[in-house]
A and B are shown apart, each in its own frame.
Chain A
Amino acid sequence: MKKPAETQDRPVQVFLPHRAGLPRLKKYLANLWGRRHFAAELSRAEMRAAHTNTFFGQFWLIISPALNAGVYFLLVSVIRGGSAGPNFFMHLLAGLFAFNFIQAVMSNGATSVTKGGNLVLNTAFPLLLLPFSALRTAFLRFIPSLVILFAFFIYFDYFGSHPQECHPSTGICTDLNTIHFSPVMFLAIPALLLIFIFAAGLSALMASVQIYFRDTKQLLPYATRIWLYLTPVLYYADQMKPWMLKCEILNPLYPLLGIFSETLVEGKTPPLTWWLGSTAWAFGTLIIGVFFFISREREFAVRI
């Protein structure tokens, strides 16, 4: 018999023993890119199945963050006695919406491979498409939150009152509503991009951890809640104890959510260290998550 001849339509595939190592990256990435429509279609189908495509489904995507915003507004403006002001409310809202996005990516990403069941067992394809599809779904659901955020922004800019807070000893007063449109706001776009990249890495990482520990998804809400409390979202960074502020160097969300809130709400250019920190965390997490996933993904079919 002749040796197999490779032709354009009939590529030769060689399967060799799997050592916990990386596949040939160029080929893998080409394959991944070639099947990107699968990830998009999967995300679309899942959103359809969750009734996101019906009127009330889509309506709910807007209503849910709006209701959340209402609850926080109540918390900040009414229960705390209105002393915190619009700036704090917007800081809270921006931080919480971005945090909810990251939380959703982690939780959907975790189950993306394990619930892929039959398809994973029956078809050979780059499995990284599954956590990336979960990322797409979470991001599309996050967009309405941005709309709500924007609506509040416009409200505070044009119609908001300007409460003052005066320091008891010095007598210097500060305006608690400094929200207005400025070109710095556009820096929120790269900030959001970094958050997205960070979330992509987390999604792949959580998907692989879930294969080995099936209770990951159940444990996640507790872990993320602690993470939220440790990140200056429900309070300002300068309200933290000095030693805790030092520990924030270990918290990726400190600079990531920091630059988002600072650019969007305060209209300030965040310090360079925050940008560098965010970039390092985002790409570091993406590289670690993706490499961890693809170095082990051929084992997943056996473990599912």
Chain B
Amino acid sequence: MKKKVLGALLVTTMLASMLAGCGGKSASNGKVLNIYCWNEEFKSRITDHYPNYTEVDATTGKIGEVTVKWNITPNENNAYQNNLDATLLKQEDAAADDKVDIFLVEADYALKYVDTEYTMAVKDLGITDQDVANQYKYTKDIVTDSKGVLKGLSWQGCPAVLFYNREVAKEVLGSDDPAVVQESVKDWDTFVATAATMDAAGYDMVSSVNDTYRVYSNNVSTKWVVDNKIQIDDNIMKWVDDSKKLVDAGYAGTHELWSDDWSKGFYPEGKVFCYFGPAWLVNFSMAADQPGSVGNLGQWGATVGPQGFFWGGTWICAATGTDNVELIKDIMLQMTTNEELMTGIVKKDDDFVNNKPAMEAMAADTSYSSAILGGQNPLAMYCEGAESIDLSNLSAFDQGCNEEFQKAMKNYFEGNADLNAALDLFYKAVEEKYPELTH
């Protein structure tokens, strides 16, 4: 009898584990390429531009004999990093086909991964300095570790500009010519003044004050974290002051970036004058493929805006322990150095790619123009921006700090807290996320 009970128990547990085991497929060595990322951007670039890639379904593909597995975890609230951390820490013990091969990182936390053993040096993949000579220097600085070793590559450059709704510009400012619009947004005081005009005409200047955040936070003079102490830069406090004014006057909302409410202005009905962002924003995020959206109608224009800045960018890193070195090398080279492929990305996706001579040539080429931007060629603007990007003030904690700062300040803008209480909330939230920090 006893045996029977135990037997029944055993059978059920075995059944459970068998069912559980169904999730993971197994294949022979080096046959699976695991890519960890947080959205579909890289996947769609590979699908559209990488030779020999065929899509099987939304999360798998094939390159020749190799199965490509996309592990997509959303970025929000560190979910992507937590998942990646857990997987990388188990990398050594994992079966060859379960090991991470490629993972993507953003500027905000690139250092966290680049400065560890978990990321392979690009040199060890067989990529030489000569191969990447045409790339913008800043894109290499971000993923260079403290010993000066280059550990990742990017296909894109992310100098950012101001995208404005041409129809609104015509109606309120009298012209949609970038030079004319630039006059109305040339510095922050003028920007606020224009916001009043927009408000009078029934438009929000920006969808959310969080839109302008990156412009301020990129022009700082200190890092977020120095010696494990949290610092708030003066320019960030200026963002708080300016934004409070915009919100109080009703010129802008307080939506979180990427929320549905934030994205309302991607459609004419949303009544938003402008967004701030790099080239990938206008293509990837602004619903250009949806009929009726501003982008679909070709009604965005681009201009420099009050201050130059950069935002985001995606870097391709190879994980130590990968069994697909050759393939990763080829993907990196194709995507980040193949000029023909990269100009294809510009033409199809309106992105700005990481190839200085090619971009400068295209900027001067009158035959290229962006449909989303109503026939404008914004590349010259991007080229100029890419030259001036300064990355000396990045820290490994930027993502958490940026995210929590905007969340905390929302309370101040909406009148649920005074400035000090909101700042305290920010410190508290960051210290929960990164227990090693103090303020």
A complexed with B: no
Q: Which A residues are closer than 8 A to B by beta carbons?
A: none
